[in-house]
Amino acid sequence: MNVIIIENEKETRESLSKLLRLFCTNVNIVGVTDNPFEGLKIIQNSDPDLIFLDEEILQSSGALLDLKASKKKFYVVLLTLENQSCEIPGEEARVFEYLVKPIDPIALEKCVKDIRTLFKRQLCPDYVNTKKGRKGEDERIGIPTSKGTLFVSLEQIVFLRANNNYTEIILETGKPLLVSKSLKSFERLLESASFMRVHQSYMINLEKVVELQRTDGGALVLSNNDKVPISRAHKVEIKNRLEEMWKIV
């Protein structure tokens, strides 16, 4: 999930950034600013899913009226003071919710989780159905094919690879599935403890990692012996996620 923070107070900007990294997995902070016009440039030049916006900036800056005109799909969470009158402008500025400063970690975590759920509900009817099996069964996704729908266990997915406007899903069986949706769409859908974007063109199932290589800029060897490159921006997060999952001596 790509996140932008537009906030007046330096302390709030820093604390919110820290809380997002600590309590919200698969969050990529693509921009932080106290300037509304710079914020608009970041929005235009990136692909945000969620914008944390100071309520005072929203009320005082006419430039942010451009939020409602943007064709990009994102939600806004207003940051407000407890004693501040907060009139949520709703759909006009795409406001999903508001959080009171100083930010409560539990409220933040719930807010991000709710927005992820909303994205999934919007995405699923278009191209894929998620289905939670009975107790003890794996979670599966339904992939549309020329013959119908193929239900694939998430445990069978090794990694996903961007292919122009398509995504290749590489399974343990070795046969790739080609789906006419972007990798970012799957990133929103599969955000979980085991899936992670590691490169502009790759998303992996962390459960399938068998080796972390530091040569040639860094790469991951997966259970099917394929090697996936790691982008510099994701190196630290990958290492941290792997250390959380596995004991590293």
pLDDT digits (tens, 9 = 90+) for 92-147: 446 777 888 999 998 899 889 888 877 766 654 433 444 444 444 467 787 877 77
Name the nearest CA neighbour of 58 among 102, 14, 83, 89: 89
In order of start, what are the domains of the chain with their CATH numbers? 2-125 (3.40.50.2300), 137-245 (2.40.50.1020)
Model pLDDT, residue 208: 94
Within a 10 A sphere around the Cβ of 79, how many other Cβ atoms? 27
Q: Which residues of the chain have pLDDT under 50?
A: 83, 85-93, 124-137
Structure tokens at 32: 């932080």
Strand partners, 41: none
Name the nearest CA neighbour of 226 among 150, 179, 160, 165: 160
Phi-psi region of 209 (alpha: psi -120 to 50; beta: other; left: phi over 0): beta
Within a 10 A sphere around the Cβ of 147, how many other Cβ atoms? 6
